Amino acid sequence: MKKISFLIVFLFSFNIGFAQNINWVKRNGALKVVNGKILNSRNIPPQLRGISLSWSVWQGKKYYNEDVVNWLQSDFNINLLRVSMAVQPDGGYLQNPAEQQELVDITVNTAIKKGLYVLIDWHDHNAHQHLAQSKEFFSKMAKRYAGKPNVIYEIFNEPERIDWQTVKDYAIQVIQEIRKYDTKNIIVVGSPHWDQDVDVAAKDPIKGFNNIAYSFHFYASEPSHQEALMQRADVAIASKLPLFVTEWGVGEATGDGKFIVEKVDKWFAWMERNKLSSANWNLTDKNETTALLKPGASVDGKWSVDMLTPAGIYIRNQLKKLNK
């Protein structure tokens, strides 16, 4: 009887492990934008669900390694990883490009090896002020990853207090640079007001390029990120603007605040209903509401449940349930 029970447990564990190491790129193939939707090679929305690494400086930096990427795939069951390369802060790409490039290389190459999709995020609120550096960086990335369907380029994280025309002018120049070398992989464009004004972008979208999507960000418990913000995104979707939720959190826009489960569930259901791909913010052990790990969590993954925050437990459960 004990042998039979052991065999059942072993087979159950094996099946879970197998399911959690799916090669998602083989399953979905190259992504594309058609008629306002992101589709896979079978013309079905892939609805990627994953996690965003934190700024590649400060506390989150230590999780930019192979072991963490492997654990996020095998235990959290991600199919998307967002690599949030810090640009402007002290120690970021503008000051220390070699170190930042190395962190990007490690995590992106591991994600590709594991069959995950990966967002290369120029994590900069003022990217329009750093156009030359952005073009140089994405030129390098496009040369390297052209032909790798895993890679998605996110070229402007959360434009702050600038208008859509400024974002659009910047985006067109970076898109042109990427398309010199990579003619197919999806490029995600930012929108004003911390990636919230997608309804404004929908009135005057970028034209003349294929496979362009637009980032939309929300923080589910933020008082100002409720019905009105959801309705703005609904307007963009109805206008056939292809949206990608490249960042969202369970708390408030500061990264802290309250984790109100009912509000998070409502936003999650909205993403599911609209079949939107998304990356949750964020993998760090900072003492904040949106951090997935408790302070002191191991830098090589292998986190027990008691090392996860309420946000970490919620996100892990959702990903394990839905990414099948």
d(CA 166, CA 96): 26
Pairing mode, if any, of strands 49-53 and 212-219? unpaired
Estimate the crossing angle of helix 261-273 against helix 310-322, to 10 degrees: 30
d(CA 178, CA 153): 9
d(CA 195, CA 158): 5
**φ/ψ (deg, to 5) at 119:** -90, 120
d(CA 238, CA 319): 27
Give me the active site residues, please. Answer: 158, 247
**Helix residue spans in the chain (DSSP H):** 2-19, 24-28, 66-74, 97-113, 131-145, 164-179, 192-195, 198-203, 227-238, 261-273, 310-322
Q: Which residues of 119-134 are buried (b: 16+ CB within 10 A; e: fewer)?
A: bbbbbbbebbebeebb
Q: How many CB atoms lie within 10 A of CB 305?
A: 8
Collapsing DSSP states into helix, strand and coil, what is residue 244? strand
Beta-bridge mates of residue 195? none
The secondary structure of residue 305, as a DSSP letter, is G
Q: How many CB atoms lie within 10 A of CB 272?
A: 14
Q: What is the chain's alpha carbon radius of gyration, rounded to the nearest angstrom?
A: 19
